[in-house]
Amino acid sequence: MKKTALMFFPAFDWSLGETHPEREERLLYTQEQLFEEGVMDLPQIVQLNPTVAPLQAVCRAQALFPGPEAHDLEAHRIAAGSALVMGDAWAKKEIHNGFALVRPPGHHAGAVVRGNRGFCTLNNEAILINHLRSRYGYQRIAVIDTDVHHGDGTQNIFYHDPQVLFISLHQDGRTLYPGSGFAEEKGGPNAWGQTLNIPLPPGTGDEGYHYILENWVLPRVQAFQPQVIINSAGQDNHYSDPLARMNVTARGYGKITELLQPHIAVLEGGYSIESALPYVNLAILLALAGEDYSQVREPKGPQRAPVQFEAFKRYYQELRSQEEKAKANWTKRRVASLLDQEWVSDAYSVYYDTEGFQEARQEYIRPCAHCGGTVVIMSKLPPDETVSTLIRIPFQACDPCAQTGLELWQLLTEKSGAKHGSEAVLLQNQNSDEILLWQRAKGVTRF
């Protein structure tokens, strides 16, 4: 019998505040509902137990500056660890698929972490993906983000990665946090087309959502032939969600799951604690377990009218042609301080809404036709503007890209005494058993 795993980590003692939408009781009603409906008694359901994600797995995906010890990670590491347990069970073929019902969420946490943003500090799916390939060698992994918010953190981590297909469907960034996720954002110079963003108009309901999945998302996923399919299963597209304005029902979510056929679903957002989460979670779990979800009913129906379907189809066609027409536009330049090599560079800033500060990033990508390319991210934080640097050697790097990463590590950590040296440098070598962190005050820590 095909087993469907369920994992609960409700983090009842962790929250950002009593009245905060991401609060302790978020999964309380879900837990009750699943037991009440007898889902836990289905013969194919198995329950797995959460564990704490090792710092190595965390640092393989994200650079926490100036070091992991500077962040409050306790609940986040258990949420990430739960995804890892599920991933291991799946890779060992102990389960057919699974749903990690965990909090806090993770998809707004990016390649560099300076604090909490959008309720996220650790990116549970990214930590899972890098773990799966470093341990089991998977070369093609797809992650489909069905949270109502753009999965900007996940996109940021895999933007230069040709071996990960990232697809995000979300309410249009012009009308919702975090304000990104447009069709033109299609991936970096070595991974162009490996990111697909589908911003949806507010009011999109089941019909429109499923239409996009069937006509755009699924063909794209099938063409990529992923070995693993991961779903960032946010539930804030539900019509009763207080943070967004979409019109998806619990049964609609069941159908999304049935269409995507994810191997592992990880809970992201969803803040309608009593009116949506218990029903959406139930429908997703039933769909994963191959059971009928058509009888799942929320107590209250939708309050707003959905977008008219003909108008929606026109929107879809326009968006598709806009995505197809978007052209890559990179300039390479020699950077003296980076081994005098040619890099593509990009500058951008990241806002941490939980604490209200801005990080400035300068990103360098080594153009490469043979691998994902070395990535360097220099992160600056006010008020003292000290720099911390992430050096990433991609999974299955070619020799010159691996060599470049190692030489930069030598250079930046040796130069540490210099006035403009980094405060911390993380060497994220995806092909090594060790992730190295150098800190000015402490020297090198090996994870």
Question: Which residues are near Zn ion by CB under 5 A?
Answer: 147, 149, 234, 236, 269, 368, 370-371, 398, 401
Closest residue to Zn ion: CB criterion: 269
CB 256 → Zn ion: shortest distance, Å? 15
Cα–Cα separations (whole angstroms), residue 167 to 145, 218, 229, 388? 6, 10, 11, 29
Q: In sequence order, what DSSP letters do the residues of 366-404 get, joined into one string? A: ---SSSS--EEEEEEETTTTEEEEEEEEPTT--HHHHHH
Residue with Cβ nearer Zn ion (54 or 201): 201
Residue with Cβ nearer Zn ion (140 or 380): 140
The CA distance from 73 to 68, in Å, is: 8
> Mapping DSSP to helix (H, G, I), strand (E, B) and coil, where does residue 177 land?
coil
Listed residue (76, 156, 62) closest to 112, CA to CA: 62
Alpha-helix residue ranges (DSSP H) falling in 206-308:
206-212, 218-224, 250-260, 277-288
The CA distance from 278 to 258, in Å, is: 18
Q: Which two tokens stand for residue 100?
A: 């990690």
Q: Which residues contact 383 (CB under 8 A, 6 or more apart)?
A: none
Residue with Cβ nearer Zn ion (338 or 387): 338
CB 67 → Zn ion: shortest distance, Å? 28
Which neighbouring-strand residues pair with 391?
A: 376, 427
CB 412 → Zn ion: shortest distance, Å? 19
CB 162 within 8 A of CB 190: yes
Q: Which two tokens stand for residue 138?
A: 């998977």
Q: In what order do the strands lie in the sheet with 264-267?
A: 45-48, 4-9, 97-102, 264-267, 228-233, 141-145, 164-171, 195-200
Q: Which two tokens stand for residue 176?
A: 């919702």
CB 443 → Zn ion: shortest distance, Å? 29
Could you confirm whether 108 is annotated as catalytic? yes
CB 269 → Zn ion: shortest distance, Å? 3
The CA distance from 64 to 114, in Å, is: 6
CB 390 → Zn ion: shortest distance, Å? 17
Residue with Cβ nearer Zn ion (50 or 269): 269
CB 268 → Zn ion: shortest distance, Å? 6
| Helix or strand run (H / E) with residue 347 | strand 341-352
Q: Which residues contact 15 (CB under 8 A, 6 or more apart)?
A: 22, 23, 24
CB 175 → Zn ion: shortest distance, Å? 14
Residue with Cβ nearer Zn ion (213 or 368): 368
Residue with Cβ nearer Zn ion (367 or 421): 367
The CA distance from 12 to 14, in Å, is: 6
Q: Which of 76, 108, 131, 150 is catalytic?
A: 108
Residue with Cβ nearer Zn ion (208 or 269): 269
Catalytic machinery residues: 108
